[in-house]
Amino acid sequence: MFQKVLASFGSGGAKVDAQLRDRNVRPGGVLRGEVFLIGGQVDQEVESLGVTLLARIDTSDDRGRVSTEDIPFQNVHLAGRELVRAGSQIKVPFEVQLPWETPITTVLGKHLTGMAIGLQTNLDLASTMVDPMDVDAVSIEPLGPQHRILDALSHMGFQFRGANLNKQRLDGVEQQLPFFQEIGFTPSREFAGAFTELKVTFLARQHDMKVVLDAHKKVRVTKGGGLGNRTQSFLGAFPVEFPKLQQTNWEQQIGRWLHDVAKPRGIFD
């Protein structure tokens, strides 16, 4: 259980303490917890109280300067127009429904480098918004079908490199959130000669998902022209129906696609 005071209002003012019940949740699941409003030395009126899920995204500009942005992607309003008496304690339980496309941050308890999903508590006291000083980290484990794809890549010899969130939309696929997750892998020995990196994106729904593979292929000339050691991105999308997950040999299916992409496609490839 987390024990963090997220915000306070002046000396001796009311405080808010968020506590999570769930150490690990999965996309599409419910994150449960409680917010404690702790009265200070005087009575204070709460204008609003809520919690927000945040995704931390690193972005870079044209000059390569990197900045960090926390993007809200799920909000829950908990209370409004409440009077917090001096010295009192009010417990407000909450449930946050996680979108199916919520990025995963851990696999079997191991943190994915580059991932940060947090729960922020928002308190507005007498029309003065209290700026949260801290955010509780939330661990998101993969769904069973997502775990199966990650296992397939591991069995094929791909090594996890890192993960990131991309503040864009993928072409040609249905996407719920204004960003998507990319999980990067170093190619296996079998494919090291053809690719520099393989990225995996999961776009899940209740009963199925799309697995998008982004293979960075080594080429001598790209679509933009120019010779030398270049890479070109090739995308492949695979539908996964959860009830039929075990009917597919994912190592073979992914391997066939990679072998097809690795084939020379022109005189300079």
For range 221-231, the mean pLDDT: 60
Whether 129 is covered by a domain: the verdict is yes
Query: In this predicted structure, what is the pLDDT of residue 266?
Result: 65
Whether 269 is covered by a domain: the verdict is no
Query: In this predicted structure, what is the pLDDT of residue 221?
Result: 64
Does the pLDDT of residue 148 top 50, yes or no?
A: yes
Cβ atoms of residues 200 and 238 within 8 Å: no
Q: What is the CATH number of the domain that holds 36?
A: 2.60.40.640
Domain count, the chain: 2
For range 131-150, the mean pLDDT: 86
Does the pLDDT of residue 7 top 50, yes or no?
A: no
- In this prediction, residue 200 has a pLDDT band, given cuts at 50, 70 and 90, of very high
Q: What is the mean pLDDT of the chain?
A: 85
131 & 55 share domain: yes
pLDDT digits (tens, 9 = 90+) for 59-83: 777 776 778 889 999 999 987 777 7
Using the structure block, give the residue that is written with the tokens 């972005």: 59
Which domain-ending residue is among 90, 110, 140? 140
For range 226-249, the mean pLDDT: 86
Distance CA 242, CA 246 (A): 8
Instruction: List the domain range (segments joined by +) for residue 12.
Output: 4-140
Whether 268 is covered by a domain: the verdict is no
Does the pLDDT of residue 47 top 90, yes or no?
A: no
Selection from 268, 159, 170, 164 nearest residue 213 by Cα: 170
3 state DSSP class of 139:
strand
Is the model more confident about 13 or about 262? 262
Q: Dihedral through CA 198, CA 199, CA 203, CA 209, nearest 10?
A: 20
pLDDT digits (tens, 9 = 90+) for 88-140: 788 889 999 999 999 999 998 899 999 999 999 887 776 555 545 468 899 99
Percent of the chain past pLDDT 70, that is, above it, reads 86
